[in-house]
Structure 1
Amino acid sequence: MSENRSHLEEKYTWDLTTIFPTDEVWEAEYEALNLALDDARVYQGHLLDSAQSLKDITDAQMDLMRRIEKFYVYASMKHDEDTTVAKYQEFDAKATSVYAKFSEVFAFYEPEFMALTQEQLETYYAEATGLDLYRHNFERLMQQKAHVLSKAEEELLAGASEIFGSAGETFSILDNADIRFPFVPDGKGDVIELTHGNYISLMENKDREVRREAYEAMYSTYEQFQHTYAKTLQTNVKVHNFKAKARKYSSAREAALSANFVPEVVYDTLVASVHKHLPLLHRYVKLRKEILGLDDLKMYDMYTPLSETDLAFTYDEALEKAEQVLAIFGEDYAARVHEAFTQRWIDVHVSKGKRSGAYSGGAYDTNAFMLLNWQDTLDNLYTLVHETGHSMHSSYTRSSQPYPYGDYPIFLAEIASTTNENILTETLLQEVEDDKVRFAILNNYLDGFRGTIFRQTQFAEFEDAIHKADQEGQVLTSEFLNDLYADLNEKYYGLSKDDNEFIQYEWARIPHFYYNYYVFQYSTGFAAANFLAERIVNGTQEDKDKYLDYLKAGSSDYPLNVIAKAGVDMTSTDYLDAAFDVFEKRLIELEELVAKGAHL
């Protein structure tokens, strides 16, 4: 059992006093924000009284949002330190309530703004000094104008939001609270209850019988509830299609991607490129079969590590390695990394009640903090450079952009973090001399690529197919979903669906199918990161400078224009082809090491 925070050395904890010096100051801000939001109610109905009114009300909205974000970050991070502390549970709830109140007070903003014509807006820019700051924000709003409904219709849709979300909530309750899995062997002589939390570790077990039993126990449970899961998923898809039709989009996909101004060609290009390169995945699956010494590889053999070599790094060794690796970006980037590592931006160690996992967080006026739950492993070194990538992206964006553009869209978020991971891989492969260690690093990379680009694109293809099927009148029965998923899985992995009958139920356990066209961004981001890392390590100073320009851009331009600053055209296949070239190069290396017996 982990201890509480009193035993932790201060240097291994984040310093949240840089946000609010004391809890009492935060509580005073809670009162002040509530009063300020009450005062802001007078703005309703007056947004377009004049050009100055538009500027003043937009300024007021932005200033309040800026304060609320800082206020929220302190509460949520204090809560994450120890989720069992009632005081910080209350802080977190209060911060959430302030966010909700802000949304309610400024609900008038978008519908009122939409009454503007482009001509009126251009006149306003000339009339009110400083309004031009919001030009890109207003341009984005104007582009959505054709899909904004009348005030009454918008109120109806908003009022139905809880109903629209009920399929996803039902899935979540069923999947996380109600469903119970069987007991299975743990490979250590005990029998344990299978859970979502221990499933992957069981899939990584060296004992094939342990993997098989856990796999069959998991999916036979989903088989039992397949009709209920099909109903929740079908309902969710129908909600997406209904809302897209109501807002005059041609499809749910167009509606979802337009929120980030991402053209649909990006999605189609990804799927087409992955299809073209599926023979590489089949080669990797074949090599996995050879390394594991199996006559017939099954889907439950896809996650067990191929390497026997465990690379260990203490936290302080990992900091040193990360600083060395990330110095490639130049002095300014290195100085920011050093500040993050030495000025208590990071909460490092596991402690009682601490939120699990890892993240980079913060607001425009705070440090780009990181939460870790450190273990001395290679995976944790990768996590450190990953989260540092997010934090450096945030640091550059916030110091380079005014508040309205001081954040970046989800579509671009994973690129900076995964670029760092890829640069770490490049560096480790350049340094390593021992074949067994090289084998472990290559295996780590290839598995990450398989799990992100191939697997997430498979999910994206399934998600798109079920939305189109529903739009065309197909009933999404469990039988239809099982057949579709089994066929896709066979196409991607080259493993017979008849020999892997349980995999047809995997769709039922994937929460991302309730996220509305989200998963493709994991694949595009990972591929772009592969492309960029190769150019940063092997390219010119100009390649590094362009990458830093991307980090500085925030949301000051459309996402595809921002990533184009770094040299990536996401409407073409070039960045995807380059990523698959790296995968193939490293696959060949692994094949050569296997031929030498480095895996033995």
Structure 2
Amino acid sequence: MCYNRRINGGCLLMKRNEQKIENTWKTEDIFKDEAAFLACLDTCKELGNELCAYDGKLDDASNLLSFLKGYEKLTCLLDDCLGYSSLLSDQDTADAHHQELKGKANALAVEVFTKLSFSDVQIMQIENLESFYASEPILERYRVYLEEVCRLKEHVLSQAEEKLMASSSLMQDTPYSIFGMLNNADLKFEDAIDSKGNKHALTTGTFIHMLEQEDEVLRESAYRNFYAGYGSMIHTLAACLNGQTNQLKFNSTARKYASSLECAVDANNVSPRVYEQLIETVHKNIHVLHKYMRVRKEVMKKEKLHMYDLYVPMVNECNVPVSFEQAKEDVLHSIQLYGTEYAKVYERGLNSRWIDVYENEGKRSGAYSSGQRVHPFVLMNFADSLDTEFTLAHEMGHAMHSYMSTKYQAPLDRHYKIFVAEVASTCNEALLMDYLRKQNSDPKFQAYLINHFMEQFRTTLFRQCMFAEFEKIINEKTANNEVLTSDTLNQIYADLNKFYYGEDVIVDDEISMEWARIPHFYMNFYVYQYATGFSAAMALSQKLLHGTQADIEAYLSFLKGGCTKSPVELLRMAGVDMASPKPIEDAIELFDSLIDEFESIMK
């Protein structure tokens, strides 16, 4: 394969129609063709209109049951439409027709759910829901869904107000939409220059790859030019983020929450205490990250580390290409401990076009798993590297979580909460790490893998926690009616970097603008879940690798659980208690031991 994201080479990406069919996902598994998709959209619209007839009639058990049956069918069909059109859009974002299909599906979803916004309000007004289960026993199928609706009762508005809130959803996406257009389309960067004077095209997609290169001149040039680009629009980007925090403030106030944080985490039935506890625990153990920075500085033979030094692999001798076929073999071997059912489905997913493997012109960057009803789909931009092998393990972990939840739960209960979403994916990365380490005992190879693992701790536990703390601070300022200017945001971000990275790292003017490029800050207290999910995954992976068959069965029950319990309860059932700081403490202790092992090998 040839990728224009590589520093050396200059090969152009293939076009979408040049991809081998076996390396693309099989969207026909959802709809055989576009005509079937459009017909389903029409069905969804008709069904939505039919369900509007239940407005004002949900205080009757029979009517409620009929409505929920129709609503369940509608959500299933809409999931199919949204998923199908999104996959087509992402495989080539330059395809205007597929963008149009996605727009139609999204617009219909907003239209339908706005019309049906009466349902939650009227369900909450049912005085004795338990009696409904007695008179219509089939309603038990919907108990979890109904309990989740009623859980939010004190934060739901009148029927007219809820309809107004629902219709404002597209408008409330405006700050993120503006950020996306600036970040993905309008923002341009000066080329980076390497030590030989060669120019390299700098984009949001090539930036981190350039920071991973041994050529320090190239790294620094990429770093300076990248943030110079953001600096040219820093006031506009500050206004976008200020708009986002005010949007969340509006919603939290309207829904009678004590804070924006409480409003955001309550959507996943998580206490704000879990969020605060993460930050507190990381603060108490920040010396371990400082220790890692000291070791990195010594291995790289630097007096001080710059921010553009943090992504360079400290061990390069083992950085060999990994083919997709080899990666499939490795990840499949790594998950055998889950048992026959899991392994057979996993293998089918690897070989039955669940995965869109390679990059092409216009394809969405990064990677994700989309948990469709028929089976999950995985977007990859596989680059014949160890990093993308771990990405494959990660996304297939998501995919199998979705598969198991969909198989074992009712349609309205199959979607697990975001709080637990990163657990299965990261757990499978840990299993792959263990498998690879057992295949080769060469000290340099071990150091190479440990380097990769330590970077996961830095970027997923500590860095995401720093992001979470930044979000908490800026939303508190918005709550106090303070305007988030670029100077204010830069200062907050610089101070956090100084605390997290310690005295061995130079915090310069450029890194103070990093907040401006992070899309997750438009997702309302989302990033902390990477850190908590990573911590839970580290604890559970150790149980899976070193525990009993009962530990494995408990974990599989968690994967099958969907949203039938709160996220904290589901994880407790799997064997880890995220209401306690212990999983975070244990993860940091593991990080500390990896630093010691790495330092010992490198001496």
Which among 518, 521, 527 is matched to residue 513 of structure 1?
521
Is the contact between residue 117 and residue 159 of structure 2 (CA under 8 Å) also seen in structure 1?
Answer: no
Q: Secondary structure at the match of 1:501?
A: coil
Q: Which residue of 1 aligns with 2:346?
A: 337
Identity of aligned residues (%): 36
**Pair 1:383-2:394 in alignment:** no
Provide, for residues 492-549 of structure 1, a one-character-per-residue CA deviation record: whole Å limited to 9, x for no partner: 0003787623322222222222221111001001111111111111111111111101
Q: Which residue of 2 aligns with 1:327?
A: 336
Q: 1:46-85, aligned counterparts within 5 Å?
A: 46-48=57-59, 50-85=60-95
Is the contact between residue 61 and residue 106 of structure 1 (CA under 8 Å) also seen in structure 2?
Answer: no
Is the contact between residue 44 and residue 108 of structure 1 (CA under 8 Å) also seen in structure 2?
Answer: yes
Is the contact between residue 293 and residue 505 of structure 2 (CA under 8 Å) also seen in structure 1?
Answer: no
Deviation at 1:113, TM superposition (A): 2.1
Q: 1:148-187, aligned counterparts within 5 Å?
A: 148-158=156-166, 160-186=168-194
Task: Return 94-103 or 524-533, whichever deviates more.
Answer: 94-103
Is the contact between residue 117 and residue 163 of structure 2 (CA under 8 Å) also seen in structure 1?
Answer: no
Q: Secondary structure at the match of 1:553?
A: coil
Provide, for residues 156-207 of structure 1, a one-character-per-residue CA deviation record: whole Å limited to 9, x for no partner: 5445545544333333333333333333314563234533222212222212
Deviation at 1:290, TM superposition (A): 1.1
Provide, for residues 220-254 of structure 1, a one-character-per-residue CA deviation record: whole Å limited to 9, x for no partner: 44445444333332232222223212221111101
- The one-letter code of the counterpart of 2:380 is L
**Pair 1:210-2:218 in alignment:** yes
**Pair 1:17-2:25 in alignment:** no
Pair 1:404–1:160, CA change in 2 (3 A) = closer
Cα separation, 2, equivalents of 1:472 and 1:496? 35
Cα separation, 1, equivalents of 2:588 and 2:281? 9
Pair 1:353–1:67, CA change in 2 (3 A) = same
- The one-letter code of the counterpart of 1:367 is H
Is the contact between residue 546 and residue 565 of structure 1 (CA under 8 Å) also seen in structure 2?
Answer: yes
Deviation at 1:576, TM superposition (A): 1.0
Q: Which residue of 1 aligns with 2:111?
A: 101
Task: Return 248-257 or 96-105, whichever deviates more.
Answer: 96-105
Cα separation, 2, equivalents of 1:384 and 1:2? 21
**Pair 1:566-2:574 in alignment:** yes
Q: Secondary structure at the match of 1:360?
A: strand
Which ranges of structure 1 fall in alignment gaps of 5 or more residues? 596-600
Pair 1:98–1:246, CA change in 2 (3 A) = closer
Is the contact between residue 489 and residue 497 of structure 1 (CA under 8 Å) also seen in structure 2?
Answer: no
Task: Return 81-90 or 37-46, whichever deviates more.
Answer: 81-90
- The one-letter code of the counterpart of 1:464 is K
Cα separation, 2, equivalents of 1:513 and 1:161? 17
Cα separation, 1, equivalents of 2:179 and 2:82? 28
Q: 1:348-497, aligned counterparts within 5 Å?
A: 348-364=357-373, 366-495=374-503
**Pair 1:547-2:558 in alignment:** no
Pair 1:582–1:121, CA change in 2 (3 A) = same
- The one-letter code of the counterpart of 2:357 is V
Deviation at 1:83, TM superposition (A): 4.0
Deviation at 1:438, TM superposition (A): 1.1
Cα separation, 1, equivalents of 2:504 and 2:577? 36
Pair 1:91–1:164, CA change in 2 (3 A) = closer
Q: Which residue of 2 aligns with 1:45?
A: 56
Q: Which residue of 2 aligns with 1:598?
A: none
Q: Secondary structure at the match of 1:571?
A: coil
Q: Secondary structure at the match of 1:138?
A: helix
Is the contact between residue 241 and residue 522 of structure 2 (CA under 8 Å) also seen in structure 1?
Answer: yes
Deviation at 1:375, TM superposition (A): 2.4
Pair 1:89–1:234, CA change in 2 (3 A) = closer
Which ranges of structure 2 fall in alignment gaps of 5 or more residues? 1-11
Is the contact between residue 70 and residue 362 of structure 1 (CA under 8 Å) also seen in structure 2?
Answer: no
- The one-letter code of the counterpart of 1:44 is D
Pair 1:418–1:25, CA change in 2 (3 A) = same
Is the contact between residue 40 and residue 105 of structure 1 (CA under 8 Å) also seen in structure 2?
Answer: no
Cα separation, 2, equivalents of 1:7 and 1:181? 29
Task: Return 336-345 or 521-530, whichever deviates more.
Answer: 336-345
Which among 310, 320, 325 is matched to residue 316 of structure 1?
325
Cα separation, 2, equivalents of 1:564 and 1:469? 34
Is the contact between residue 136 and residue 556 of structure 1 (CA under 8 Å) also seen in structure 2?
Answer: yes
Deviation at 1:311, TM superposition (A): 3.0
Cα separation, 1, equivalents of 2:507 and 2:310? 14
Alignment TM-score, normalising by the size of structure 2: 0.92
Is the contact between residue 456 and residue 523 of structure 1 (CA under 8 Å) also seen in structure 2?
Answer: yes
- The one-letter code of the counterpart of 1:327 is Q
Q: Which residue of 2 aligns with 1:200?
A: 208
Q: 1:120-135, aligned counterparts within 5 Å?
A: 120-135=128-143
Q: Which residue of 2 aligns with 1:115?
A: 125
Is the contact between residue 468 and residue 528 of structure 2 (CA under 8 Å) also seen in structure 1?
Answer: yes
Pair 1:66–1:581, CA change in 2 (3 A) = same
